[in-house]
Amino acid sequence: MVAQMKVMLATPDDTIHFGRTLGGELRAGDLVLLAGPLGAGKTTMARGIAAGMGVAGRVSSPTFVLARVHPAGRSGVSLVHVDAYRLGGDLSQLDDLDLDTELAEAAVVVEWGEGVAERLSDDHLIVRLERHDDDTRTVILEPHGTWAARLAEARLAG
């Protein structure tokens, strides 16, 4: 496994920019899990990812619908944006979303997915966001499976 990558982000705009860069790396079949406490910037990161993928539709937290599909844009890959917060570890509801089928055709980004959604694919990237008192953020990327090699080659730092 490649060592974790750590990146400091000074502003929410930096979070969007970093997400945009990450989104440019995504392809169909990718699973990204966004982890961190309330207010850490998970939805902001998801907005950046969507912008980097060029998908259609406004990206907002899908808390009440659990998942939103954003049709493919310039990347040719759709984005499935999931908020697993309300699932509370209930794997049956995650199964009801049929995300493993979506993974064949789209990139899937799951907020609050750590501890729940990893089982969808051995190949996944955990993006941990930590918000500090001065409103800066630390992003820690934890690669699993093929993400170890991909992360080593990705242009995400800085």
pTM for this model (two decimals): 0.86
If one looks up domain 11-122 in CATH, what number appears? 3.40.50.300
pLDDT at 12 over 70: yes
- Asked if 47 and 56 touch (Cβ cutoff 8 Å), the reply is no
State yes or no: pLDDT of 94 exceeds 70.
no
Given this model, what pLDDT does residue 90 score? 54
Sketch the domain layout of the chain as residue ranges: 11-122
Q: How far, in Å, CA of 132 to CA of 39, rounded?
A: 10
Distances in whole angstroms, Cα of residue 16 to Cα of each of 3, 83, 134, 137? 23, 18, 18, 12
State yes or no: pLDDT of 146 exceeds 70. Answer: yes
Is 85 strand, coil or helix? Answer: helix
